[in-house]
Chain A
Amino acid sequence: MNYFSLLTIELKKIRRSKILLILFIPVIMIWVPGLVNGDMIFDTGDIPIAPENNFFIQGFMGMAWFMIPASLVICTVLLTQTERSGRGMLKMLSLPVSMGKLCFAKFTVLILLSLIQMIMSVTVYYVCGTIAAEIYDYPLLLSFTDTAAAVLKIYTGAIPMASVFWMMAVLIHSPVCSVGAGLASIVPSVLMINTKIWFLYPMSYPFYLLMVEYGRAAEGIYESQIRWIPWLPAAGVITLGTLLIACIKFGAHERR
């Protein structure tokens, strides 16, 4: 079986899982406060930021800090549970399927789900931004190019984190322990982005990228330039290393 067949099968497995609903609800919940409470957009306190930038940053803050990592953790549970419940993995092992390829196909589905959530986020941002602009009579939407670039950057920055979560889900056989470790690792990212070794902590990447956007929109809040070095090499090594470990160890528990 080639990689694309496996990918199609994996997508079929999650077809009735309602995962898109789980990914969609937080996207909606992010923008509701912005619509209901206009003061949150226009009352920027001492921070020198335009309301349209504030609307964008405040909305995506919760996503970048908490919901993107948490969604990835939930998706890893879904993807591992499809194999572990009903002894699915044993059945897969009896087929002429490369475990490495299967593992990578599942990881691709994880990234695809993240991509779908990204498209949902941008769409809902534009819908809510248009409604809020009508209510408050102020143009609250950023240009599509700026929005797409910023959001794409944040979600691309989540790929190393996704590979770490995926490795944890593969290595830790008890799903709850891998979830616990994944969710617990989200919390310190607020602390980590303020340290010099933030680039070694993949869970903080999306939040770091958003804070850089914040720094660009409001001078003095945070850095305004991404420190590509040493971030990029570190992120590359973490992504490839964790993915390689996951592909090697996938199904090892059932093969014993």
Chain B
Amino acid sequence: MTTGIEHMKLRKSGYFFMFPAGGLLASAFPAVNMIFRTEMFINSPGEPYRILMNANWQMMAMLNVLLSVCGACLMYYIEYSENGAQKMEVLPVSGGNLFLGKFVIAAMELGVLIIIEHISIMGCMLYWFPSHGIRLTEFLKGIAFQWFAGLPTAMLMLLIASACRNMWMSLGTGVILVFVMSVFTQELSIFSLFPFSSPFCIYESVVENHYLLFFLSVCAVETAVFGVGGYLFQEFRRFIQ
């Protein structure tokens, strides 16, 4: 029910336009890169999926993270502007459930974004690497992994946005976290496990380093911890703020 309410609130806010539009922009990166640097990529050794991901995923993931930040800010901006949050409090719905409802929508939109981006990558693979074919199972695993790796960031950002009444404050915090994590995470390291950094990790690199299960477990724990934190914060917000 709460997810339905959230969907209705966001319907005219531009939220559902923002993610597919961002997905289309991100989809242009691999195509543009391939058009301008065709020879370099075609002659690179390795699987086409990996070549394309290595060349483009940092930019695409950055866009995904920034959209997650904006999306979370928007979700709570419409809540706090015109005292919407106080109006919700008089309804028989719990703030914690609304928080989780928002997360369900954020996770779904992140999935849409990643699917659009992977369709573009698949198009590039079929056009520029026709002889290699596509290993569909690995490709789908890649989509699922990139989606799952983005969930802690989406959840933490929602938690931050829910705690800040001024949108520019949550936006500023989110942008600083994106920046800080991009400074610290130059390669696969302990920092890659943190939110705002995990979405930049590529499925094949994690598999190659044999910590797929560990990585996914950490992401699941982070998502759950931030989820519980956000739920409790919303339940007790009126006593805190």
* Chain A residues engaging chain B, CB cutoff 8 angstroms: 17-19, 22, 25-26, 29-30, 33, 62, 66-67, 70, 73-74, 77-78, 81, 85, 174-177, 179-180, 183-184, 186-188, 190-191, 194-195
Q: Name the residue on B nearest A194 (C-beta).
A: B36
* Closest beta carbon of chain A to B170's beta carbon, Å: 10
Query: B157 in the interface, Cβ–Cβ < 8 Å?
Result: no
Q: Which 9 A-B pairs have the closest CB atoms?
A: A176-B74, A22-B172, A77-B168, A180-B70, A183-B66, A70-B175, A78-B168, A29-B180, A74-B172
Known: A74-B171, A176-B77, A176-B167. A33 touches B184 (CB 8 A): yes
> Do A183 and B184 have beta carbons less than 8 Å apart?
no
Query: B22 in the interface, Cβ–Cβ < 8 Å?
Result: yes
Residues of B within 8 A of A187 (CB): 25, 59, 62-63, 66
* Chain B residues engaging chain A, CB cutoff 8 angstroms: 13-15, 18, 22, 25, 29, 32-33, 36, 59, 62-63, 66-67, 69-70, 73-74, 77, 81, 166-169, 171-173, 175-176, 178-180, 182-184
19 pairs, A vs B, C-beta closer than 8 Å:
A19-B168, A26-B179, A29-B180, A66-B179, A70-B175, A74-B175, A85-B81, A175-B77, A176-B15, A176-B70, A179-B171, A180-B66, A183-B66, A184-B22, A184-B63, A184-B67, A187-B25, A188-B25, A188-B59
* Closest beta carbon of chain B to A124's beta carbon, Å: 14
> Do B176 and A22 have beta carbons less than 8 Å apart?
yes
Q: Name the residue on A nearest B175 (C-beta).
A: A70
Main secondary structure of the interface of A (DSSP, over half): helix
> Do A67 and B66 have beta carbons less than 8 Å apart?
no
14 additional contacts, CB 8 Å, given A176-B70, A180-B70? A17-B168, A18-B169, A22-B176, A33-B183, A70-B179, A74-B172, A81-B168, A176-B15, A177-B14, A180-B22, A184-B67, A186-B66, A187-B25, A187-B63
> Do A26 and B22 have beta carbons less than 8 Å apart?
no
Residues of A within 8 A of B184 (CB): 33
* A67 to B177 CA separation, bound complex (whole angstroms): 11
> Do B168 and A67 have beta carbons less than 8 Å apart?
no
Known: A174-B14, A191-B32. A26 touches B69 (CB 8 A): no
Residues of B within 8 A of A70 (CB): 175, 178-179
* Closest beta carbon of chain A to B168's beta carbon, Å: 4
Q: Name the residue on A nearest B66 (C-beta).
A: A183
> Do A26 and B180 have beta carbons less than 8 Å apart?
yes
Residues of A within 8 A of B63 (CB): 184, 187
* Closest beta carbon of chain A to B134's beta carbon, Å: 25
Known: A66-B182, A195-B36. A81 touches B167 (CB 8 A): yes
Residues of B within 8 A of A180 (CB): 18, 22, 66-67, 70
> Do B25 and A74 have beta carbons less than 8 Å apart?
no
Residues of B within 8 A of A174 (CB): 13-14
Residues of B within 8 A of A67 (CB): 179
Q: Name the residue on A nearest B77 (C-beta).
A: A176
Q: Name the residue on A nearest B166 (C-beta).
A: A81
> Do A176 and B172 have beta carbons less than 8 Å apart?
no
Residues of A within 8 A of B77 (CB): 175-176
Q: Could you say which of B25, B73, B81, B182 contacts A179, with CB atoms under 8 Å apart?
A: B73
> Do A77 and B14 have beta carbons less than 8 Å apart?
no
* A255 to B33 CA separation, bound complex (whole angstroms): 45
> Do B167 and A26 have beta carbons less than 8 Å apart?
no
Residues of A within 8 A of B67 (CB): 180, 184
Known: A26-B176, A33-B183, A62-B183. A188 touches B29 (CB 8 A): yes
Residues of B within 8 A of A186 (CB): 66
* Closest beta carbon of chain A to B105's beta carbon, Å: 15
> Do B18 and A177 have beta carbons less than 8 Å apart?
yes
Known: A191-B29, A191-B33, A191-B59. A179 touches B70 (CB 8 A): yes
* Closest beta carbon of chain B to A241's beta carbon, Å: 23
* Closest beta carbon of chain B to A36's beta carbon, Å: 10
* A81 to B179 CA separation, bound complex (whole angstroms): 23
Highest count of chain B CB atoms <10 Å: which of A22, A33, A186, A195: A22
Residues of B within 8 A of A17 (CB): 168
Q: Could you say which of A18, A62, A176, A195 contacts B73, with CB atoms under 8 Å apart?
A: A176
Q: Name the residue on A nearest B18 (C-beta).
A: A180
Residues of A within 8 A of B66 (CB): 180, 183-184, 186-187
Residues of A within 8 A of B13 (CB): 174, 176
